[in-house]
Amino acid sequence: MLKTATQRGGSRGAGEQRSPTRALLFGLIITLAAVVAYSVYITVQISGLRKLQSEMVDRNRRDSLELLRLQNDLNSVALAMRDMLDSSEPYPMTAWSAQFARLRGDIDAALTIEEQNASAQRTEEQRDYLRHQLTQFWDAMDRMFALANKGKEAEAKEQIRLSLQARQAALSTAVSRLLVENNEGEQHAAAQIGEIYTRVQRQVYLFFAATLVAIVLTSLYLIRTNREIFARLAALSEQRSELAQKLISTQESTLRHVSRELHDEFGQVLTAIGSLLGRLGKQAPEGSPLHADLQEVQEIAQSTLNNIRGLSQALHPVLLEEQGLESTLDWYIPSASHQMGLSLHYEKSGAAFPVETVAGVQIYRVLQEALNNVSRHSGEREAWVRLKFSRGELSLDVEDHGKGVSNNGSGQGAQHSSQGIGLVGMRERAELIGGTLELLQPNEGGTLVRLTVPRERAEAVHGG
């Protein structure tokens, strides 16, 4: 439905209002900067977390595995030395050299890997201590086997009791201490990871809260700005509507004045001229050149009088004031059909009621514009005009089966354009009398212009 909405309310002029674009762009830049900064922060935190997990937790885990390997090997060494001291063993002490050589190789390999995975917090003294103790242990072991090879097994066993077992115990204690340090390091790393997670989680909540606040503030700003814009648009629309209605009223007043001047002044003058020419013609001899000339001039004066009366009716139909809308349409539609070359089918229905003159003028003008559109743009020479009186309203339909409605504003290839000046005028005229104007499409195609006016406004409306 084509209907202009009007609202009351003052508003500052459009030139006095600042555009919200700059503020919105500034807010967008701030939001994007916050998102980028927060993304960088999260990336750094995740990178640090990954580094902590890979360099500390995983490294400590691998280091602990090697320390456990060392501990197991040292325990195997302790068991082997105990068995060597057992007098019930049937094997000579030199028979244990192969086993100790294998354990030595495994311990050296485990120590090398452990040193590569050792915690960064471990000092050089701590690193050198285990290697130095192992070197001394293997040196003592070599001296013990040297004594055994010389047949001095008693001295070799004494070497195990006095030196090797003590050294092995010291090595096991050192490895156990390192395992404890690794466990403490893992606990510390776990605490750091938990702290990072907590900090990131807190920052996420803060960021989300700040984002929500920014969204709320931006939304409130947009709502306020949009309300101001729509208020200005409503005020401008109301001013435009008031201006259009004043122009329509001024136009009708001017046309009424010109129509009366033509009808009263020129019409009376031409009527008097026609009467004088008629009397002169009676005085002139029948068949004389003067009589023929007077009769020709009288016919020209009568033709001019008829044209002036027709023009007067077109500018402002006096019939509206004298006989009402229904009689005016009964006269106008056959006249328009003849002048425009249209085949118009006129139908009336319902119990007619008297229409106030101002409302009748607007309805008459809407009909004029609709028929002009049919003649100029529809591409058809046939149309239907329906005037319907009902209990609550009066409706006027103008229907054709031509090219139909176009909304592209070009005015080409269609009967009507939604931006056309004619339709703007029809809408304003409809609003002036409290009615509505609709552009519909019939099932057969084409255009149906429907004007609907409430009965109370059609019977008692006052011009603006």
Q: Which residue has the tokens 């409605």?
A: 405
CB 4 within 8 A of CB 237: yes
Q: Which two tokens stand for residue 163?
A: 């030196």
Query: Residue 343's pLDDT is what?
Result: 93
Residue 410 has pLDDT above 60, yes or no: no
Q: Which two tokens stand for residue 229?
A: 């814009």
Strand duo 405-406 + 416-417: pairing: parallel
C-alpha torsion sign, points 268, 334, 340, 318: positive
CB 434 within 8 A of CB 427: no
What digits encode the pLDDT tens for the residues 76-125?
A: 999 988 888 887 767 788 888 889 899 989 998 988 888 887 766 677 77
Q: Which two tokens stand for residue 286?
A: 């029948």
More confident residue, 13 or 436: 436
Q: What percent of the chain has pLDDT over 70?
A: 88
Residue 287 has pLDDT above 90, yes or no: no
Closest to 122 measured CA to CA, from 174, 71, 182, 175 = 182
Residue 191 has pLDDT above 90, yes or no: no
Dist. CA 61–CA 182, nearest whole Å: 8
What digits encode the pLDDT tens for the residues 154-183?
A: 888 898 888 888 888 988 898 888 888 888
Q: Which two tokens stand for residue 441?
A: 């499409």
CB 392 within 8 A of CB 455: yes
With vertex at residue 441, the alpha carbon angle to CA 436 and CA 447, rounded to the nearest 5 degrees, is 80
Query: Residue 366's pLDDT is what?
Result: 92
Exposed / middle / buried, residue 105 (Cβ in 10 Å: 0-12, 13-18, 19+): exposed
Identify the band that residue 129 occupies on the pLDDT scale cut at 50, 70 and 90. Answer: confident
Amino acid at 455: R
Dist. CA 441–CA 449, nearest whole Å: 9
Query: Residue 383's pLDDT is what?
Result: 93
Identify the band that residue 419 occupies on the pLDDT scale cut at 50, 70 and 90. Answer: very low
Identify the band that residue 345 occupies on the pLDDT scale cut at 50, 70 and 90. Answer: very high
Query: Residue 207's pLDDT is what?
Result: 79
Going by the DSSP 8-state scheme, the letter that residue 55 receives in this structure is I
The two counts, helices (H) then strands (E), for the chain are 13, 7
Q: Report the mean per-residue pLDDT for the chain.
A: 80
Query: Residue 451's pLDDT is what?
Result: 95
Bridge partner residues of 449 (DSSP): 398, 439
Mean pLDDT to the nearest integer, 304-310? 77
Q: Which residue has the tokens 């700059």?
A: 22
Exposed / middle / buried, residue 346 (Cβ in 10 Å: 0-12, 13-18, 19+): middle
Identify the band that residue 55 occupies on the pLDDT scale cut at 50, 70 and 90. Answer: low
Query: Residue 50's pLDDT is what?
Result: 72
Identify the band that residue 52 occupies on the pLDDT scale cut at 50, 70 and 90. Answer: low
Distances (CA, A) of 319 to 66, 316, 358, 398: 116, 9, 13, 21
CB 161 within 8 A of CB 206: no
Exposed / middle / buried, residue 311 (Cβ in 10 Å: 0-12, 13-18, 19+): middle
Mean pLDDT to the nearest integer, 190-215? 81
Exposed / middle / buried, residue 216 (Cβ in 10 Å: 0-12, 13-18, 19+): exposed
Identify the band that residue 186 occupies on the pLDDT scale cut at 50, 70 and 90. Answer: confident
Query: Residue 464's pLDDT is what?
Result: 40
Residue 461 has pLDDT above 70, yes or no: no
Dist. CA 166–CA 168, nearest whole Å: 5
Query: Residue 386's pLDDT is what?
Result: 95
Residue 444 has pLDDT above 50, yes or no: yes
Distance in Å from the first CA to the final CA of the chain: 24
Query: Residue 406's pLDDT is what?
Result: 56
Residue 312 has pLDDT above 80, yes or no: no
What digits encode the pLDDT tens for the residues 273-282?
A: 888 877 777 7
Q: Which two tokens stand for residue 45?
A: 């935190």
More confident residue, 302 or 56: 302
Query: Residue 130's pLDDT is what?
Result: 84
Q: 3-class secondary structure for 423-443?
A: HHHHHHHHHHCCCEEEEECCC
Dist. CA 146–CA 105, nearest whole Å: 19
> What SS3 class is residue 388?
strand
Domains delineated in the chain:
21-221 (1.20.1330), 318-459 (3.30.565.10)
Torsion angle, alpha carbons of 284, 290, 291, 294, to 10: -110
pTM attached to this predicted model: 0.49
What digits encode the pLDDT tens for the residues 366-396?
A: 998 999 989 888 888 999 999 999 989 999 9
* Phi–psi pair at 450, nearest 5 degrees: -125, 120
Distances (CA, A) of 150 to 49, 187, 273: 60, 52, 169
Strand duo 405-406 + 343-349: pairing: unpaired
Dist. CA 62–CA 168, nearest whole Å: 23
More confident residue, 36 or 313: 36
Dist. CA 154–CA 173, nearest whole Å: 28
Dist. CA 212–CA 217, nearest whole Å: 8
Give the lowest-confidence range in 49-53, 212-216, 248-252, 322-326. 49-53
